[in-house]
């Protein structure tokens, strides 16, 4: 029979392993998008080591100074001592005697301050490792995806794929997306932020697969006009509003009311002076109003549809987004009226009247 003394080291080792396992679990829970990568930092190793050493110290104190509290000398007793030491050490390290408020932040005074400080170092180290890679991944995955379609289609699809996303997590994501939708940030930033939120829940591989499966339904409509509108001049108000939202979504009002308007008028080339003055008055009126930027852009877009038509507005929006003139036309190209660049200059001047 093996000598129990020969395996005396096993008990504190198991207690330390229990403490390290608890620390590892905590770190992995903080970085659900890349849990294993979070462990490969010096701060993470220190965090796990502190938990392990605390468990070993608790086992030593229990068996040396408090023998009456131990569970016994048998196998069951030794296992009980290991569990008691490991769990009591975890509870002790997470104890705060009192909290002091410093600069609107509650700072714990006690053993928990040690773990909190190390966790902060681990967070920053892991964030630095993950940030660059996540930015590259999300840019590739979410390229060409429409925010509104992703919000209503991709989010529930990802949650259904995972099957174990709890109501609390779903509510948190819904709250963040509602705030993001009201934000006046550019469309490209919104859709990438949405992707990062989902990546935190489902992971990079699952998000990439979900987007690839739905890309045809989630892509932006860059065709310039919406075929469902039929004749743009005869479209219903709701259809025109939807078209403008797709064409000019994410465009700042400063861009929409300046170069975009001039571009649309130059492309149309046959807009009469009274219509140009009406567009100018609309811009001035919107600029003086205290309303959300996206509302101003939407109202201006509807006015431009009346002035130049949905086809011209859509082509101008796509051209501006791509950074190139539309085929067969543009501010410097010929057109039905042959106005060319000179016509564009005249229309630009009329907007400043």
Question: According to the model, what pLDDT value does residue 166 have?
Answer: 82
Residue 249 CA neighbour count, 13 Å, CB half: 23
The string of DSSP letters for 264-293 reads HHHHH----HHHHHHHHHHHHHHHHS-S-H
Query: Are 91 and 19 contacting, i.e. CB atoms less than 8 angstroms apart?
Result: no
How far apart are alpha carbons 16 and 86 in whole angstroms? 7
Question: According to the model, what pLDDT value does residue 162 have?
Answer: 79
Question: According to the model, what pLDDT value does residue 275 have?
Answer: 87
Neighbouring residues of 151: CB distance < 8 A, sequence distance ≥ 6: 177, 181, 194
What pLDDT digit, counting tens, does each position of 280-316 carry?
A: 999 999 888 887 888 888 889 888 888 888 888 888 8
Query: Are 207 and 155 contacting, i.e. CB atoms less than 8 angstroms apart?
Result: no
**Taking the model in full, what pTM does it have?**
0.44
pLDDT along the chain (353 residues), means of 10: 58 88 83 71 82 88 76 73 83 76 70 79 72 82 88 86 80 87 83 89 86 81 42 59 80 88 81 87 89 85 86 80 51 37 40 42
Question: According to the model, what pLDDT value does residue 284 have?
Answer: 92
């Amino acid at each position: 029979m093996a000598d129990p003394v020969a395996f005396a080291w096993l008990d504190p080792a198991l207690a330390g392993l229990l403490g390290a396992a608890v620390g590892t679990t905590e770190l992995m829970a903080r970085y659900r998008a890349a849990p294993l990568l979070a462990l490969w930092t010096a701060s993470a190793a220190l965090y796990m080591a502190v938990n392990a050493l605390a468990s070993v110290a608790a086992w030593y104190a229990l068996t040396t100074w408090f023998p009456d509290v131990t569970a016994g000398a048998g196998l069951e007793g030794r296992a009980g001592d290991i569990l008691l030491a490991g769990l009591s050490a975890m509870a002790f390290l997470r104890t705060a005697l009192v909290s002091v408020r410093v600069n609107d932040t509650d700072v714990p005074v006690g053993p928990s301050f040690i773990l909190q400080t190390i966790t902060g170092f681990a967070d920053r180290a892991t964030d630095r490792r993950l940030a660059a890679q996540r930015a590259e991944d999300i840019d590739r995955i979410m390229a060409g995806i429409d925010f509104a379609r992703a919000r209503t289609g991709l989010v529930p699809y990802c949650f259904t794929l995972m099957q174990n996303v709890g109501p609390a997590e779903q509510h948190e994501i819904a709250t963040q997306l509602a705030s993001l939708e009201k934000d006046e940030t550019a469309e490209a930033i919104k859709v990438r932020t949405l992707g990062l939120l989902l990546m935190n829940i489902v992971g990079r591989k699952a998000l990439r697969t979900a987007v690839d499966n739905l890309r045809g339904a989630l892509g932006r409509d860059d065709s310039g006009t919406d075929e469902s509108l039929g004749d743009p001049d005869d479209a219903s108000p709701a259809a025109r509003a939807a078209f403008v939202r797709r064409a000019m979504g994410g465009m700042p009002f400063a861009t929409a009311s300046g170069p975009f308007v001039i571009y649309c008028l130059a492309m149309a080339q046959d807009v009469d002076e009274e219509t140009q003055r009406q567009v100018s008055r609309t811009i001035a009126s919107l600029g003086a109003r205290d309303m959300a930027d996206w509302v101003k852009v939407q109202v201006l877009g509807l006015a431009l549809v009346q002035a130049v038509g949905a086809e011209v507005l859509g082509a101008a929006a796509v051209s501006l987004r791509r950074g190139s003139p539309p085929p067969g036309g543009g501010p410097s190209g010929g057109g039905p009226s042959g106005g060319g660049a000179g016509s564009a200059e005249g229309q630009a001047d009329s907007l400043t009247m």
